[in-house]
Amino acid sequence: MPGFELFGAEERKEVTDVLQTGIMMRYGFDGPRKGIWKAIELEKAICDRFGCSQAQLVSSGTAALTTAMAALGIGYGDEIILPSFTFVASFEAVLSVGAIPVFVDVDDTLTLNPEAVRKAITGKTKCVMPVHMCGSMADMDALQQICKENKLLLLEDACQSIGGTYKGKHLGTIGDAGTFSFDFVKTITCAEGGVILTNRQDVYINSDGYSDHGHDHKGSDRGADLHPFIGYNFRISELHAAVGLAQVRKLDQFLSIQRKNHHQLRDILNQVPEISFRRIPDPAGDSCTFLSWFLPTEEITQAFVHEMKAQNIMAGNFYWYDNNWHYIRKWDHLKNSIVLNALHPELKSAVMAEANKSFPSSDRVMGRCISTAIGLLWTEEQIIEKGNKIIGIIKKILAQKSVSA
């Protein structure tokens, strides 16, 4: 799964280029930097590799989401539709721009259920934000259609699905804007970093300014820049961009290893008829960072997780249903709206109402789902061993259930 597994000489070389001039900031210092512009180079490489017209690097995936929302003009009074299964950063970003997160069910794609999205649209809805969870994609045709019919913005959180595609287009480049995270455990890493991808010039210009105190970046004298609007500092450093530059050049290698390991593990699990797999709207576009699969019932899944933990082999397998970061069921801080800086009372009550809704259809999916993170360094023998241990435990549990039934 993560690019850090194959960190090496290429990353060290890029970072050394920056350390030799000592200019670690992405803007200015034109003379002393001696022609070294890692952030600009990485933005160009991202546009080329993923096929979008503009890319704005920032300090994290969370900052990328916040910046994209601001750049799209999403704020006070606006509702953003997002899935009940995502990483906490998705709703953190919504709150940071003062908008209301409206959670809706996921289906067996582990992403937004288009019908649930339709039902959640109100007069306040401004944006639909699919999250391409665990390496694979949402049903983008259906979501694009809904956005078109209802004149809504489409913002793709593709932080976990770098290199995945849908009908030939890269995830993150299909909507009005998209984001990647380059944090330490993502498909490619900058240590910390993120990017906003867009084909809209206005969104790019807003992102460029917003992530650097509203600077217009028009002249070569930073002190003389104008500030057409208020921004923040979400800049990436040259050191981080340098790491990312080496990593993006290795992406094809990471993806081909992931696909090979994923398919091998899938073939092993496929031997058990009780195991089913995540539905992938465009199977050719799966980035294969995870293999996500289902057991027949929540009870069997709980027993499986219990046994995997007892045998100390759960590492790398995720039962999101019980995890504090990825599924709404355990987001107590959000349900209770516990914040350090007070929210507007209207926003606070809207957030609490949303976060405390129940999601029985998501529960039916997530309660039975396990995602296995695909390693880049696995050997074929290790995959066979991992796969066989998993199916051994499942067969044992299924046999116990049939005896007790």
Ligand X SMILES: *Cc1c(COP(=O)(O)O)cnc(C)c1O
Residues in contact with ligand X by the rule CB under 6 A: 60-62, 86-87, 89-90, 131, 157, 159-160, 181, 183, 194
In the residue annotation, 335 being an active-site residue is answered as no
Q: Which amino acid is at 79?
A: E
Q: Which is nearer to ligand X, 14 or 157 (CB)?
A: 157
Q: Which is nearer to ligand X, 94 or 159 (CB)?
A: 159
CB 295, CB 368: distance < 8 Å: yes
Task: Quote the tokens at residue 208.
Answer: 């460029």
Task: Quote the tokens at residue 37.
Answer: 């512009």
Q: Which is nearer to ligand X, 89 or 398 (CB)?
A: 89
Please name which of 88, 75, 168, 167 lies closest in space to residue 131, comparing C-alpha atoms. 88
Q: Which is nearer to ligand X, 181 or 207 (CB)?
A: 181
Tell me the residue number closest to ligand X, measured at CB.
61
What CA–CA distance (Å, rounded) separates 135 from 288?
6
Least spacing, CB of residue 132 vs ligand X, in Å: 8
Least spacing, CB of residue 182 vs ligand X, in Å: 7
Least spacing, CB of residue 228 vs ligand X, in Å: 27
For residue 275, count other CB atoms closer than 10 A to its CB: 18
Least spacing, CB of residue 105 vs ligand X, in Å: 17
Least spacing, CB of residue 354 vs ligand X, in Å: 18
What CA–CA distance (Å, rounded) separates 26 from 208?
12
* Annotated catalytic residue, options 186, 218, 260, 401: 186
Half-sphere exposure at residue 113, Cβ-oriented, CA atoms within 13 angstroms: 16
What CA–CA distance (Å, rounded) separates 111 from 85?
7
Residue 123: Cβ-neighbour burial (10 angstroms; 0-12, 13-18, 19+): exposed
What CA–CA distance (Å, rounded) separates 237 from 241?
6
Q: Which is nearer to ligand X, 235 or 386 (CB)?
A: 235
Catalytic residues: 186
